Amino acid sequence: MTAAAWALDALLDDPATRTLICCGSGGVGKTTTAAALAVRAAERGRRVVVLTVDPSRRLAQALGLVDGGTAEPRPVAGVSTGAGGSLHAAVLDARATLDALVDDALPPERAAQLKRNPVYGSVAGSFSGTQEYMAMERLGQLREAALSGEAPWELVVVDTPPSRSALDFIDAPARLGRFLDGRLVTLLRRPSTPRAGLAAVPAAVAGRVTSSITGGVAAVMDKVLGGALLRDVQALVQGLDVVFGGFQQRALTTSAALAAPGSAFVVVTAAEADALAEARFLLERLARDRLPTAALVVNRATVLAPGAAHLGAEEAGRLAAVLEAAGHDRAAALLRLHAELALTAAAEAAAVQGLLGDHDAAAVATAAARPVDVHDVVALREVAADLARS
């Protein structure tokens, strides 16, 4: 591989490192990597908080994130504090974060009204990107707490939501901006007589958009969506406008901070074509936006045992046949397994090589696939050790 090894410990030990963001496509091991980096940093003396998204139940248990109130960082037990560090962990709760934003931005009565809006639940639950926006919001909050010196942490490690696309997280503020500035939302934002629904809007915006288009659109939307829904959506847009206006400002500040020294992105991938293609996109995108990439982490890689690492798949297959013929069935089975693993390891190496191709800007680190899920501090330590070794 042409890429450089990752000087992980140097990064973690540098007090200037304040934010690490683990991103990548769904299921590749973002949460695992974030938690592993956090454990290692804490055990090397940093005061760390890790924000996890969708941790498995057993990992959540190991991090002490099981009963109620897990959205606020809590100290994690089982991490050695000998070097003067500490670890806090929290789970991202997008709904609670959004609710809190609404409560902050609006007078109590309007906030309550907005949260009762039938469309609010659907927006909070599945607005393409709510989780991303709220992850960004929480990151901003945790960083602010760190900077103010009030919080017991000074290094923030964040995991990112299992987005459809790994790019959603960094795109969130801009996308929200486009959405808020969109013509339709502008149109919906105008108050109109509630009974008439959107059909009443054209008169109000006649100067902005030619009323023939808008009128047609309004009529169609009214017809297709139904007036009740439109009125709810309109009320929601008017309410969220204030909330998201402030939020967007902060999100832009946060994303600017991510470009500054002290922040680094860790792109996590599996050694499989789809995940690698997504990782490549992400690496290119980060480079284009001048966001600092610390490393590409190839997680759950097939790693051969040291003694057998040089034995190729074909030779192992030949040996297995010889052993079978000689009646050494159990030894033969191990050689067959080795042939399978060697084939997979070679395919993975080729896929990673193919992905990196000319893109060798990022350091590459590999974490071996463990035989069982990573769900305790001991296993997290091992994953981090793999990453520091590569």
Partner 1 sequence: MPADTAAPAPTHPDGPADPVRLHVVTGKGGTGKTTVATALALALAREGRRVLLCEVEGRQGVARLLEVDDLPPRETEVAEGAGGGQVVALAVEPRSALLLYLDTFYRLGRAGAALEKVGAVDFITAVAPGLRDILLVGMVYEATRRRVDGTRGSGGTEPEADQAPDPAHGGAPAGGPVPWTYDAVVLDAPPTGRISAFLGIGDELATLAGGGPIAGQAASVARLLRSPATAVHLVSLLEDLPVQETVEAAAELAEAGLPLGLVVANRVLRPVPPVPADAEVAPALEEAGMAAGPAREVAAGVVDQGAARALAVTAQQRHREALAGLGQPVADLHQVPGALDLAGLYALADRLGEQLP
Ligand X SMILES: Nc1ncnc2c1ncn2[C@@H]1O[C@H](COP(=O)(O)OP(=O)(O)O)[C@@H](O)[C@H]1O
| Binding positions for ligand X, rule: CB under 6 A | 26-32, 56, 159, 162, 272-274, 299-300, 367, 369-370, 373-375, 383
Select the span of 8-16, 25-33, 166-174, 355-363 touching partner 1 (CB under 8 A). 25-33
- How many residues bind Mg ion (CB under 5 A)? The answer is 3
31 forms part of the interface with Mg ion (CB under 5 A): yes
Interface characters, 355-374, with partner 1 (x: CB under 8 A): ----------------xxx-
272 forms part of the interface with Mg ion (CB under 5 A): no
375 forms part of the interface with partner 1 (CB under 8 A): yes
225 forms part of the interface with partner 1 (CB under 8 A): yes
322 forms part of the interface with partner 1 (CB under 8 A): yes
3-state secondary structure labels for all residues of the chain: CCCCCCCHHHHHHCCCCCEEEEECCCCCCHHHHHHHHHHHHHHCCCEEEEEECCCCHHHHHHCCCCCCCCCCCEECCCCCCCCCCEEEEEECCHHHHHHHHHHHHCCHHHHHHHHHCHHHHHHHHHCCCHHHHHHHHHHHHHHHHHHHCCCCCCEEEEECCCCCCCCHHHHHHHHHHHHHHCHHHHHHHCCCCHHHHHHHHHHHHCCCCCHHHHHHHHHHHHHHHCHHHHHHHHHHHHHHHHHHHHHHHHHHHHHHHHHCCCEEEEEEEECCHHHHHHHHHHHHHHHHCCCCEEEEEEEEECCCCHHHCCCCHHHHHHHHHHHHHCCCHHHHHHHHHHHHHHHHHHHHHHHHHHHHCCCCCCEEEEEECCCCCCCCHHHHHHHHHHHHHC
If the CB atoms of residues 63 and 240 are measured against ligand X, the closer one turns out to be 63
If the CB atoms of residues 63 and 151 are measured against ligand X, the closer one turns out to be 63
**Interface residue with partner 1, options 77, 83, 259, 309 (CB under 8 A):** 309
385 forms part of the interface with partner 1 (CB under 8 A): no
**Interface residue with partner 1, options 6, 127, 244, 265 (CB under 8 A):** 127
Smallest separation, CB 276 to ligand X (Å): 9
Interface characters, 107-126, with partner 1 (x: CB under 8 A): -----------xx-xxx-xx
217 forms part of the interface with partner 1 (CB under 8 A): yes
- How many residues bind partner 1 (CB under 8 A)? The answer is 79
Residue 85 interface partner, choices Mg ion, ligand X, partner 1, none, CB cut-off 5-8 Å depending on type: none
The contact set with Mg ion (CB under 5 A) reads: 31, 53-54
